[in-house]
Homo-oligomer: A and B are copies of this chain.
Amino acid sequence: MVRRTRFDDSDCPVARSVDAIGDWWSLLIVRDAFDGSRRFGEFQRGLGVAKNILAARLRVLVDGGVLDVVPASDGSSYHEYVLTPKGRDLFPVIVALRQWGEGHFFEPGEPHSEMVDRQGGRPLRALEVRSADGRRLDPDDTAVVKVDQLGTPAGAVPE
């Protein structure tokens, strides 16, 4: 086998997510979808991606239940790609990547795009990982366990 490795049967949800998205283009397509892009041409212009690549990625995202194909909203006989609820659930992923990038890849004053609260226009609060009872958690405060059947953790797992 020389095909790119798949992770769709992994026990780890991170691996399955990564596998379902497919590649980075797909994530940028989702980013643009959150930002209002709906038409093939909009995605193509926004991303500068070759059309064959875009067509393939859109197909993967539609097959994966992230995007849905719906009749165009302008009355034409074309169609549009809109996020499904599953796709909209990627919102924290996009926000997390955005905040990481803002924090580490731009010089002070360097132009960049920023996500803001529509009501007031202020930047978002940084994402916080919290326990069920609301304490802020650092990586060291967490562990990964294997859940075998009915929600009863079976102990630490090397993943």
Contact = CB atoms under 8 A, between A and B. Distances in A.
Contacts of A141: 117-119
A114 interface: yes
A55 interface: no
A153 B97 contact: no
A144 B114 contact: yes
A113 B147 contact: yes
A103 interface: yes
A46 interface: yes
A146 interface: yes
A130 B153 CA distance: 30
Given A113-B144, A144-B35, A46 B150 contact: no
Given A5-B49, A86-B104, A106-B13, A129 B127 contact: yes
A91 B46 contact: no
